[in-house]
Amino acid sequence: MNEEREVIFTEVQKFRQTWVWILIFLPAALVIWHWKQLILNPIMLIVPMIMGIICPLLFYICNLKTEVLADGLYFRFFPFQLSFHKINVSDIKTYEARTYSPIMEYGGWGLRYSLRHGRAYNVSGNLGVQITLKNGNKILFGSQKPEEFVEALKKVIPGS
């Protein structure tokens, strides 16, 4: 992001829910428990290595960053999106803070897509900001601060 531009709103969210980490580390615990059997067959180490090391590391570094600047809404779901994506304020038709059902509407958390509800970028919880673009596309951004997010959008979108 350019440092000279004023950031009106910023939020960084990470996967830090206890239940997620239990699900992630359960396979790792099984790998450690059966380490002696796995070491006898090196090919059998590939899947446990992925499940025991790479998956937890991936979830640990994953984060969703959203920023509202005067010229648009910027977002990045790292490490799947290495650079920020921008939605111009002129492309936003409507926006609202809302409660949603991550599993029922989008099939869970992360980078999600639903034919009925559009795209979703969410990490935890069930609160977010629904954006409808002028072209009809819908994007939901999960947020722990949806009211602040909406207030920032009100500041930059003319006539809202």
- Per residue in 36-79, pLDDT (tens digit) is 666 666 666 676 666 677 778 888 889 999 999 999 999 999 99
Contacts of 106 (CB under 8 A, 6+ apart): 100, 112, 113, 114, 117, 120, 122, 140
Give me the residue label for tokens 């409808």: 132
What pTM did the predictor assign? 0.79
Q: Can you give the pLDDT at residue 58? A: 84
For 105-147, what is each residue's pLDDT tens digit?
999 889 999 999 999 999 988 999 999 999 999 999 999 999 9
Distances (CA, A) of 137 to 7, 25, 87, 114, 119: 25, 37, 12, 11, 8
Residue 127 corresponds to which tokens in the numbers above? 């609160």
